[in-house]
């Protein structure tokens, strides 16, 4: 986490942290940032909590980067029996934060349904069985598709319009959460669009490299709007959703205060790289809108055939507006994003450099 995480400016949450916090997907990008903040590893930030923090990590998953304060439990959301170990030998209040999910599957499209949908149903079942106090499910923008106009903003309550395989699996995950709520589970959802920040995986580092080389594909005029979520803002949103008393079954957009244009994103990354003394070539890689449409079609056909090609998927989405309105999270949770794109991107790039990642 960045040093600057500062939550003084916003309203306090209303419920004390639990005795035990369980985080699925703890070794993943978001999970790593989250458990680091919750355990106060390195420094005691605003989200440090006294209770235990347990992380679910897959049996073969590398967990060496996780802080030692996190209790690791080996298991898999796709294996319901393995989840019982998460709750073993503990009394007192328990919350679950469910971050495990697949965004870009390594092998087959089936991973989407197995992990995102069935895995979520398994986690909700386990939480219900073990009398969990509150569950926060990390959803996504993808069950809701794209905005029809650049000035449109997704409100808190929107009709499902899933974007391809990932979107369908994340929608099915939401429906699984809502079924569990109907059965009596106290679960809520946060929906972050495209998040960024320290701990990011290699594919996001590629994004920096493309900008540095002036090779980031801007489709059309680059005026499409994208909401993004800096990881510290997302952690704040998750913790507030967990520790604010609300009715179960609700979901909130958690994002930076305002959406950005694609041009703005590319320019800001360029500026942040330059500020670190990195030479950035002017971006001249502009493609006509049709390139995005073609990529989307290829992606659709490939996914229908059970194949997933990251480049086409990302390019196919680039000419769309995905922009959200966070006012419900502000109103219901007291959420107030503290970091916007320039600072967030600077932190991301510094983190990459600190890790010895070559941009």
Partner 1 sequence: MTRAVHHDCDVLIVGSGAGGATTAAVLAEAGHDVLIVEEGSWVEQGSTVPFSLDQMDKQYRSGGVTVALGLPSIAYTEGRCAGGGTEVNSGLYWRPPEATLELWRTKYQIRDFASSDLLDICAEVESELSVQKVPGEHTDASDILRRGADRLGWRNDEIPRWMTYPEGAGATEGQRQSMTRTYLPRAFASGARILCDHRLDKITRSGRRATGAELTHTVDGESSAVTVAFRDVIVCGGAIQTPAILQRTGLRHRVGRTLAVHPTVKLAARFDDPVNTPEDVSVFQVKQFAPNISFGGSASHPGLVALALTDNWRDFGSAVTAWPELAIYYAAITSEGRGLVQAIPGVRDPLVTYRLTKRDRDLLGQGLARLAMVMLEAGAEEVYPSFKQAPIVRDRADLATMTSMFAASKASVMTVHLCSTAPMGDDERRCATDSHGLVHGTDNVFVNDAALLPEAPGVNPQASVMAIAIRNARRYCDERAG
**CA 200, 126, 168, 324 torsion-angle sign:** negative
Q: Applying CB under 8 A, does 148 fall inside the site for partner 1?
A: yes
Looking at 54-62, 105-113, 161-169, 226-234, which segment touches partner 1 (CB under 8 A)?
161-169
CA atoms within 13 A on the CB side of 1: 31
Q: Does 152 bind partner 1 (CB under 8 A)?
A: yes
d(CA 9, CA 232): 14
- Which span (111-119, 123-131, 144-152, 338-346) binds partner 1, by CB under 8 A? 144-152
Sign of CA pseudo-dihedral 144, 257, 27, 16: negative
How many CA atoms lie within 13 Å of 113's alpha carbon, on the beta-carbon side? 7
Smallest gap from Cβ 76 to partner 1, in A, equals: 27
Residue of the chain from 146, 213, 246, 263 that contacts partner 1 (CB under 8 A): 146
Question: Between 4 and 43, how does the x/- string for binding to partner 1 read (CB under 8 A)?
Answer: ----------------------------------------
C-beta of 99: minimal distance to partner 1 in Å? Answer: 23
Residue 62 or 157: the one with the smaller Cβ distance to partner 1 is 157
Which residues, numbered 324-353, are part of the site for partner 1 (CB under 8 A)?
A: 328
**Nearer to partner 1 (CB atom), residue 158 or residue 336:** 158
Q: Which two tokens stand for residue 261?
A: 């244009």
CA distances from 117 to 112, 120, 175, 244, 286 (A): 7, 5, 9, 26, 36
Q: Is 159 in the site for partner 1 (CB under 8 A)?
A: yes
Q: Please, how many CA atoms are within 13 Å of residue 73, restricted to the half-sphere of its CB?
A: 22
Residue range at the interface with partner 1 (CB under 8 A); choices 102-110, 145-153, 193-201, 251-259: 145-153
Q: How far is the CB of 113 from partner 1 (least distance, A)?
A: 15
The correct pick among 19, 104, 114, 160 for binding partner 1 (CB under 8 A) is 160
Counting Cα atoms < 13 Å in the Cβ hemisphere of 44 gives 2
| Interface of this chain with partner 1, residues 108 to 137, rule: CB under 8 A | none
Angle formed at CA 298 by CA 296 and CA 300, multiple of 5 degrees = 65
Tell whether residue 161 is a contact of partner 1 (CB under 8 A): yes
Cβ proximity to partner 1, 187 vs 231, nearer residue? 187
Q: Which C-beta is closer to partner 1: that of 74 or that of 161?
A: 161
Write down the least CB distance from residue 143 to partner 1, Å.
Answer: 8
Interface mask toward partner 1 for 170-209; x: CB under 8 A: -x---x----------------------------------
CB of 167 to partner 1, least distance (A): 9
**Dist. CA 72–CA 109, nearest whole Å:** 28
C-alpha–C-alpha distance, residues 121 and 117, integer Å: 6
333: Cβ–Cβ under 8 A, 6 or more apart, which residues? 237, 240, 241, 244, 246, 252
Give the HSE-up count for residue 74: Cα atoms under 13 Å, Cβ half-sphere. Answer: 5
Question: Looking at 85, 113, 114, 158, which residue binds partner 1 (CB under 8 A)?
Answer: 158
Name the 3-class secondary structure at 193: coil
Please report whether residue 297 would count as binding partner 1 according to CB under 8 A.
Answer: no
Cβ-based nearer residue to partner 1, 78 or 146: 146
Rounded CA-CA distance 59/69 in Å is: 19
Residues in contact with partner 1, total (CB under 8 A)?
20
Helix axes 310-318, 289-304, angle to 10 degrees: 140
Q: Verify binding: residue 259, partner 1, rule CB under 8 A.
A: no
Could you list the residues that contact partner 1 (CB under 8 A)?
A: 143, 145-149, 151-152, 155-162, 168, 171, 175, 328
């Amino acid at each position: 986490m960045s040093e600057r995480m500062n939550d003084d400016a916003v309203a306090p949450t209303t419920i004390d942290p639990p005795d035990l916090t369980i985080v699925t997907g703890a070794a993943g990008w978001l999970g790593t940032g989250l458990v680091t903040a919750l355990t106060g590893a390195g420094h005691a930030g605003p989200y440090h909590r006294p209770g235990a923090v347990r992380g679910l990590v897959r049996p073969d998953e590398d967990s060496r980067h996780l802080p030692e304060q996190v209790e690791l439990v080996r298991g898999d959301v796709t294996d319901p029996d393995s989840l019982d170990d998460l709750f073993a030998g503990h009394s007192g209040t328990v919350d679950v934060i469910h971050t495990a999910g697949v965004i870009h599957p390594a092998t087959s499209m089936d991973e989407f349904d197995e992990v995102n949908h069935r895995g979520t149903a398994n986690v909700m079942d386990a939480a219900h069985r073990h009398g969990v106090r509150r569950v926060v499910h990390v959803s996504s923008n993808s069950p809701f598709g794209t905005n029809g106009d650049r000035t449109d903003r997704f409100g808190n309550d929107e009709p499902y319009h899933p974007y391809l395989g990932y979107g369908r699996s994340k929608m099915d995950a939401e429906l699984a959460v809502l079924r569990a709520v109907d059965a009596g589970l106290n679960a809520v959802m946060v929906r972050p669009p495209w998040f960024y920040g320290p701990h990011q995986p290699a594919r996001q580092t590629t994004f920096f490299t493309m900008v540095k080389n002036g090779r980031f594909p801007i489709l059309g005029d680059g005026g499409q709007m994208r909401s993004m979520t800096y990881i510290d803002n997302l952690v704040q949103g998750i913790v507030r959703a967990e520790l604010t008393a609300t009715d179960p079954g609700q979901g909130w957009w958690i994002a930076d205060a305002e959406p950005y244009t694609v041009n703005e994103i590319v320019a800001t990354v360029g500026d942040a790289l330059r500020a670190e003394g990195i030479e950035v070539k002017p971006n001249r890689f502009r493609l006509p809108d049709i390139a995005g449409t073609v990529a989307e079609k290829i992606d659709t056909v490939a996914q229908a055939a059970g194949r997933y090609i990251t480049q086409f998927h990302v390019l196919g989405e680039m000419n769309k507006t995905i922009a959200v309105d966070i006012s419900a999270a502000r109103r219901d949770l007291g959420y107030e994003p503290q970091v916007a794109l320039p600072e967030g991107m600077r932190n991301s790039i510094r983190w990459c450099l600190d890790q010895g990642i070559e941009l």
